[in-house]
Amino acid sequence: MPYSAEISRTAPSCFLFLIDQSGSMGDGFTVDAGKKKSEGVADAINKLLQNLVIRCAKEDGVRDYFHVGVIGYGTTVGSAYGGSLRGRDMVPISEIANSPARIEERTKKTDDGAGGLLDQTIRFPIWFEPVANGGTPMCRAFSQARNLIQSFVSQHPDCYPPVVINITDGESTDGSPTTAMHDLSAIQSTDGNVLLFNLMLSNNPNASPMAFPDSENALPDEYAKLLFEAASPLTTFMRSVAAEHGFSLTDGSRGFVLNADLVLIIQALDIGTRPSNLR
């Protein structure tokens, strides 16, 4: 049965995030204009990295169940980590835990136990900063992703298949990424093919929000259809995680999200990064 390999310190898997850092990522969310796309995506990725650290934390420390890469593409294409991880590609999760670029103090609302809310100060680690500059060289990003993922699978041929999550708000400016996406998804371990998610933050006014469709029929334009077609079908376990978030999906549902607000982005990241067999 595919997508059932055990994930352990001796048999890790990996996540790779491809983050559009083009100039238009400085615009506000179509469905939540209070925050720039680049800022919302940075918050979501940093929160996800923190959650992955927590997920891998045991009594003896943070175990290296995962290696994680964050590739930004805009003016340049390359590692988007800051601080001591700057320039690193695939980083073991224990090193991520020990190496945030900085710690921010943020305020969140909490229940005061009497029907009201209190402001609570929390420490929020930052590994990845918001950037919005340049074009959208998606083909170069996927070419780099293919090389990184192929190298990882060559070192771990029996691993739970790597998951790649691409977040973009526009069309590729260096050609059609179709071939590069399919070349990436064609990489496989003995447990199955690489899983590709495409999260599109479209500026198309006709692009209604949708998550994990099983058909391209309601998509507003050809580029949304291209990203949908290249996205992988969700695994059985991913569909069960989606159900926890209130989604009702079919066997044909794909890892494609259109015009998400920040909450939906976080939900999509959770669905894409919660494998069933962590040991």
Strand partners, 124: 104
Structural domain includes residue 3: no
pLDDT of residue 33: 57
**DSSP secondary structure string, 165-211?**
EEEESS--SSS--HHHHHHHHT-EETTEEPEEEEEE----TT---EE
Task: Name the H helices within the chain.
Answer: 37-56, 93-98, 138-155, 178-185, 222-230, 236-244, 262-272
Q: Give the CATH number of the domain where residue 30 resides.
A: 3.40.50.410
Model pLDDT for residues 11-59, shown as the tens digit of each residue: 999 999 999 999 999 998 765 557 899 999 999 999 999 999 999 999 9
Structural domain includes residue 1: no
41's tokens:
């995506």
How far are the Cα atoms of 80, 83, 128, 190, 273 from residue 13, in angstroms, in the given order?
Answer: 20, 24, 21, 13, 11
- Its pTM stands at 0.92
Pairing, β 192-193 against β 188-189: antiparallel
Model pLDDT for residues 253-273, shown as the tens digit of each residue: 999 999 877 788 889 999 999
Residue 2: is it exposed, middle or buried by C-beta count within 10 angstroms (0-12/13-18/19+)? middle
- Mean pLDDT within 113-142: 90
Of 170, 149, 262, 145, the closest CA to residue 209 belongs to: 262
pLDDT of residue 242: 94
> Does pLDDT of 125 surpass 70?
yes
pLDDT of residue 226: 96
Structural domain includes residue 131: yes
Amino acid at 251: D
245's tokens:
């978030």
Distance from C-alpha of 189 to C-alpha of 176, rounded to nearest angstrom: 26
Using left for φ > 0, alpha for ψ between -120 and 50, and beta otherwise, residue 5 falls in: beta
Number of domains in the chain: 1
Structural domain includes residue 77: yes
Structural domain includes residue 4: no
Structural domain includes residue 130: yes
The residue range of the domain holding 61 is 13-272
pLDDT of residue 133: 97
33's tokens:
């204009």
pLDDT of residue 120: 80
Distance from C-alpha of 279 to C-alpha of 231, rounded to nearest angstrom: 27
